Amino acid sequence: MNASRALMLALLGLAGLYAAWFARSADWVAVWVFAAPPLLLAALAAVRPRAAAFWSGVLALGWFSHGVMVAWADPPLRAFALAAVAMSLLVIGAANFEALRARRRGG
């Protein structure tokens, strides 16, 4: 599996997680605000993988912070929040995999 495909899968997983999380409370604006960016970035990863990796890494920092904040502040939502933290870390790892591999090769 290449890095672009791993990034697409991680983004789709994150979008699905956010859709399930906010659909429980029927907060449809939050579903679009949180689930649409990973979906759009997953589509972008198929066309422009480097741009998708950059923007995924940038936005994943916000998703990570949001998950930590909710896990700390709202115990009933802790499972969703910690899953979002894990998924955002997967996105960061997948977005940086090619650069880390190139650095390890020395190029």
Cα distance between residue 95 and residue 52, in whole Å:
8
Residues 1-50 have pLDDT tens digits of: 788 899 999 999 999 999 999 988 888 898 899 999 999 999 999 899 99
Question: Where do we find the tokens 């859709």?
Answer: 19
Please name which of 79, 76, 92, 75 lies closest in space to residue 38, comparing C-alpha atoms.
92
Strand segments (E) across 23-74? none
Residues 59-99 have pLDDT tens digits of: 999 999 999 999 999 999 999 999 999 999 999 999 998 87
Cα distance between residue 35 and residue 104, in whole Å:
33
Q: Give, rounded to a whole angstrom, the gap between the first and last alpha carbons of the chain.
A: 21
